[in-house]
Chains A and B, each alone.
Chain A
């Protein structure tokens, strides 16, 4: 071999070596792997360029002191790294560790270090050679994966969702899925038969069918089924399965199963409550709704509301306008005004009106209560509508009966008076008829030829007698209240009597929304009077007061006070229609009445009685409304009683 050839060969070799080294370095840089020689004799280390870069340094030539190396290892890992190295020197083990290094700029990197110890013939180690790989990025990826997996399983646990996959590499069940079915993960995922045994017997057949379809047609599903755990507990689960297809090739299934027992029970409870509510609405003929009166749209309309208006709930939603159109034409304006006023002021309302049912035009009475939703839009109302037709009819019937009763009571009074008048008529007619007959007889005696004067005179005398008799009867009648016959006089506790009379009229008063008050100044006002006649005064005046207020309601006030001349003034005041404009005194005249069905006797009798007791009766108009009737009676002191 010539020198040239040698030279050539050397050059070739040298080039190859350089190229080989350059490739190695390139390989190290791509793989982020560096290598080192650790001269154990001199305790120094030589690093490859890549290792410098891994450590965040610029490549240098020459050895590095071990102390510097040590400094660059993460303080928490330092002891561990050198202990591993020591162990490797004294054993056959090859160091294979992961540790962190701290770059000069403070960045922490994770490396995977491998080593191989070289020994001399005597077995003494003189060198360690190894590689160091920067595995920071891989490590981070692993951490993220771990975290993701952790979150996923936590999520499954919290949400009671289990997941599964079924493909050629096997049948995978997540931990939560085992928990949902009450199975032990140790036993692995169940077979189809085992799985079907977990399904509630009533759902088993349909589930078997579903699985069959999955296998045959590779279709997914989303269904709720009941399962029975091995411990017997019944649960509701929502099972979702989707086929996995990659590039048009079926690869298997993935799916989730969610424990929806709580939701399902809640849903069932809600449905039950909804049904109860529906039933209650149906029973009470009360419908609920929510609507916006401005935009004229319904948000909620219960079935009963729909039915009450004569629509069919099964025929879909009914528009606001169609509901509104059912309102009775005569009540349309009132309803519109009420809703507009409530909407404008944002207040609640409570109205009664009639509707004509959509189907058959039947007229029903409704009461609608609307509550303005202050947090909602303008015109937003929630409310109820009640069918009050039955109550309305009953009310009308009651009112009719009440009127009938009142009429009867009045007729009774009129009849009583009629009887009294008839009795009086009979009494007075006797002497008058006798007079007329006597006069006839007298004329006949005179007409005789010759006239029988003796008999004629006797007849005339009887005429006088009977005429006087008639006058006497009238006098007696007038004195009936004037001087009594004979007057019965006893000490009467006026307060007690007023209480008695108030109690007597309580029902009648309540019926007409009238309140009875008494305001009695004296502790025990007493008078000397005929008890029955005094009751009659109260009855007449209180009845008049109630009659004056029966259409409007009001207040009936009874008060008493003592005058300086020892007269008790009793005042009965009402807030009713008041006195007639004409002469006030006239109202006390007999047969004078301002009432369509009055007898005109009440006040006349009252005056007779009061005057017979040495008192006075008069009426005054109230400043506000109504009239006050006053009467006086001579009071009786305790000492005189």
Chain B
């Protein structure tokens, strides 16, 4: 299930001329763009559910771009970031990229470099959003399982046979079979392999 919404590029730069020109460049390729003078201003905006990315100036008044990146990560807000700076050094770019930045560009940059980075960032966000949506879906399905069914699912995923599971939970093999059938149905799993993959995505511990 892919998001079809129009992606948005957010721009944070304290230099008005800079943020206006970036916004204009982004819009010139048909993307939506919104620009802000500071991180605080950006956080006031209602979070979007559409794919998006952030073009962030490193040198900002009050809080630097790098610090803002960390703050976003801490509050669990996942958004791909492209850094731009008038004077960047290697350690700074390494730090930014290690913290998950998509790209680190030095002003003045080639327009295509920025646009490529934006495309890449949006792609990454889209994929991430799809992954999040799938996990959300799986979590909903998992939520419909009874405690007994969740227990049986964990044991199936760990590779046990019905007989083993039966002795493990102290039930008859026939009962296990019924639980197992319910799990496969509720989780919409076509095979045990499918179920294992789902368990991984849900980050359930493989063995109780």
Contact surface of A with B, Cβ cutoff 8 Å: 422, 425-426, 429-438, 440-441, 444-445, 448, 452, 455, 458-459, 462, 465-466, 469
> Mostly helix, strand, loop or mixed at chain B's interface?
helix
- Count residues of B near A (Cβ-Cβ below 8 Å): 19
CA distance A444 to B21 in the complex (A): 12
Find chain B residues with CB under 8 A from A448 CB: 28
Tell me the smallest distance from the CB of B82 to a CB of chain A, in Å: 13
Top-6 shortest CB links A-B: A440-B111, A433-B107, A434-B17, A433-B108, A444-B28, A437-B21
Whether B21 pairs with A438 at a CB distance below 8 angstroms is yes
Contacts A444-B29, A455-B24; is A430 near B111 (CB within 8 Å)? no
Point out which of B18, B27, B87 has the most chain A C-beta atoms below 10 A from its C-beta. B18
Contacts A441-B28, A448-B28, A455-B27; is A429 near B20 (CB within 8 Å)? no
Find chain A residues with CB under 8 A from B24 CB: 437-438, 441, 445, 455, 458-459, 462
Task: Give residues of chain B (63-80) contacting chain A, Cβ–Cβ below 8 Å.
Answer: none
Tell me the smallest distance from the CB of A438 to a CB of chain B, in Å: 4
Task: Give residues of chain B (55-105) contacting chain A, Cβ–Cβ below 8 Å.
Answer: 59, 86-87
Point out which of A440, A448, A452, A469 has the most chain B C-beta atoms below 10 A from its C-beta. A440
CA distance A469 to B17 in the complex (A): 9
Whether A445 pairs with B28 at a CB distance below 8 angstroms is yes
Tell me the smallest distance from the CB of B205 to a CB of chain A, in Å: 49
Q: Mark B100-127, 1 if CB is under 8 A from A, else 0.
A: 0000000111010010000000000000
Asked if B183 is an interface residue, CB under 8 A from chain A, the answer is no
Contact surface of B with A, Cβ cutoff 8 Å: 15, 17-18, 20-22, 24-25, 27-29, 59, 86-87, 107-109, 111, 114
CA distance A432 to B20 in the complex (A): 13
CA distance A56 to B24 in the complex (A): 165
Whether B17 pairs with A425 at a CB distance below 8 angstroms is no
Whether A462 pairs with B25 at a CB distance below 8 angstroms is no
Whether A433 pairs with B18 at a CB distance below 8 angstroms is yes
Find chain B residues with CB under 8 A from A432 CB: 108
Find chain B residues with CB under 8 A from A433 CB: 18, 86, 107-109
CA distance A455 to B20 in the complex (A): 12
CB < 8 Å neighbour of A444 from B18, B20, B25, B59: B25
Whether B22 pairs with A437 at a CB distance below 8 angstroms is yes
Contacts A422-B87, A441-B24, A455-B28; is A436 near B108 (CB within 8 Å)? yes
> Mostly helix, strand, loop or mixed at chain A's interface?
helix
Tell me the smallest distance from the CB of A391 to a CB of chain B, in Å: 45
Find chain B residues with CB under 8 A from A437 CB: 18, 21-22, 24-25, 108-109, 111, 114
CA distance A448 to B17 in the complex (A): 23
Point out which of A430, A437, A438, A448 has the most chain B C-beta atoms below 10 A from its C-beta. A437
Tell me the smallest distance from the CB of A477 to a CB of chain B, in Å: 16
Tell me the smallest distance from the CB of B17 to a CB of chain A, in Å: 4
Find chain A residues with CB under 8 A from B107 CB: 429-430, 433
Tell me the smallest distance from the CB of A92 to a CB of chain B, in Å: 147
CA distance A420 to B64 in the complex (A): 20
Q: Which residue from chain B places its CB closest to the CB of A438 in the assembled complex?
A: B21
Point out which of B22, B25, B59, B109 has the most chain A C-beta atoms below 10 A from its C-beta. B25
Find chain B residues with CB under 8 A from A445 CB: 24, 28
Tell me the smallest distance from the CB of A429 to a CB of chain B, in Å: 4
Tell me the smallest distance from the CB of B93 to a CB of chain A, in Å: 16
Whether A430 pairs with B29 at a CB distance below 8 angstroms is no
Whether B27 pairs with A431 at a CB distance below 8 angstroms is no
Q: Which residue from chain A places its CB closest to the CB of B107 in the assembled complex?
A: A433
CA distance A72 to B136 in the complex (A): 173
Q: Which residue from chain A places its CB closest to the CB of B22 in the assembled complex?
A: A437
Q: Which residue from chain B places its CB closest to the CB of A467 in the assembled complex?
A: B17
Whether B29 pairs with A434 at a CB distance below 8 angstroms is no
Find chain B residues with CB under 8 A from A444 CB: 25, 28-29, 111
Tell me the smallest distance from the CB of B50 to a CB of chain A, in Å: 23
Q: Which residue from chain B places its CB closest to the CB of A444 in the assembled complex?
A: B28
List 23 A-B pairs, Cβ < 8 Å.
A425-B87, A429-B108, A430-B18, A431-B17, A433-B18, A433-B86, A434-B20, A436-B108, A437-B18, A437-B21, A437-B22, A437-B24, A437-B25, A437-B108, A437-B114, A438-B17, A438-B24, A438-B25, A440-B25, A444-B25, A445-B24, A448-B28, A466-B17
Whether A462 pairs with B87 at a CB distance below 8 angstroms is no
Whether B87 pairs with A426 at a CB distance below 8 angstroms is yes
Find chain B residues with CB under 8 A from A440 CB: 25, 111
CB < 8 Å neighbour of B18 from A434, A452, A455, A458: A434
Whether A459 pairs with B87 at a CB distance below 8 angstroms is no
CA distance A436 to B28 in the complex (A): 14
Find chain B residues with CB under 8 A from A425 CB: 86-87
CA distance A241 to B188 in the complex (A): 138
Whether A434 pairs with B28 at a CB distance below 8 angstroms is no
Find chain A residues with CB under 8 A from B59 CB: 426
CA distance A1 to B114 in the complex (A): 197
Find chain A residues with CB under 8 A from B108 CB: 429, 432-433, 436-437
